[in-house]
Amino acid sequence: MRILSIIIGCLLFLSPTQKKIPQRKIIDVHLHAQLASDYGQPPPPNPKTGKIPKWKNDQEVIDMTLATLKNNNVVKAIAQGSLSTIRNFQMADSVRFIPALDYPDKQNNPLPDTATFIRYFQEKKFLVFGELALQYEGKTLADPEFEPYLAICERMGIPVALHTGMSFPNTTYTCCPKFRTHLGNPQLIEEVLVKHPKMKIQLMHLGFPWLQETKAIMNVYPQVYADIAAISWLRPPAEFYDYLKSFIDGGFGKRIMYGSDQMAWEDAIPLSIKNVENAPFLTEGQKQDIFYNNAATFYNLK
């Protein structure tokens, strides 16, 4: 298990007592369906705010997550996890949580064989393939072992959600010895895109910090969308705004989606929403595209 180190590396910060913005419908395309056993006790504090979660068991984690989504008008969430944890979250709200198959997951489950993969999708046990955190394993989406699954995704219309960009300090030393920063460069998936032109791919974390490389991929391959998870809070606000604005100015505003990278903390989603709301260069229309419209298009949720 890669456990707490990856948990802390991939998340956001916020404050649940901050002013909520219920007027906007929001789709969160990057939310982790994880339980208390994935975090341990005591649970880790928010790495930015220092706030320690109050939940003590699996049901309280689910209750906290669902309440946070409702309080912030997040009407849909792509919930990534193992099949067992996804099922627990869907039992709480089968409409709001859209199941997504993590790989690797927190239980280190292997990928199912291709026949089982197809059957699970047909049974709606998952509707999205990812988060694919392959960078932590020293791999990329172009590795041959994933090709049969990508062919299935293209044929059956299964969106693929791929971790791109960076991680937290000391990743290679603390949890993931095979992690390398260069493996987060979105240009490494170009041959995959060439081979599978009808496969939809979500670049998580907007490819940060690979600005020009990410823009080049998105410019040539219109089936590629990206989310702003983690970078909206993990990086300094000025840096996040500069990075996001470059994509907006480049004409990619219709393909950028809101994602929280929410895992353990109820104070993550509200602040990430606030950071987007406060972006001085975004119009109201662009904010609504990021928060809802683009994800509704990408995931066919209209």
φ, ψ for residue 195, nearest 5 deg:
-75, -30
Distance, CA of 93 to CA of 75 (rounded, Å): 11
Encoding tokens for residue 221? Answer: 């391959």
Taking a C-beta distance cutoff of 8 angstroms, is the pair 47, 13 a contact? yes
> pLDDT 10s per residue in the chain (302 long)?
444 444 444 433 333 334 444 479 999 999 999 999 888 888 888 887 888 888 899 999 999 999 999 999 999 999 999 999 999 999 999 999 999 999 998 888 999 999 999 999 999 999 999 999 999 999 999 999 999 999 999 999 999 999 999 998 899 999 899 999 999 999 999 999 999 999 999 999 999 999 999 999 999 999 999 999 999 988 889 999 999 999 999 999 999 999 999 888 888 899 899 999 999 999 999 999 999 999 999 999 97
Q: Any residues with CB less than 8 A from the CB of 58 and at least 6 apart, and which?
A: 35, 36, 37, 88
* Residue 190 CB coordination number (10 Å): 16
Distance, CA of 100 to CA of 108 (rounded, Å): 16
Q: How far is CA 187 from CA 140, 209, 239, 258, in A?
A: 11, 12, 22, 22
Domain range for 144 is 3-298
CATH label of the domain that carries residue 60: 3.20.20.140
Taking a C-beta distance cutoff of 8 angstroms, is the pair 215, 252 a contact? yes
The pTM for the full model equals 0.91
Encoding tokens for residue 273? Answer: 């929403």
Number of domains making up the chain: 1
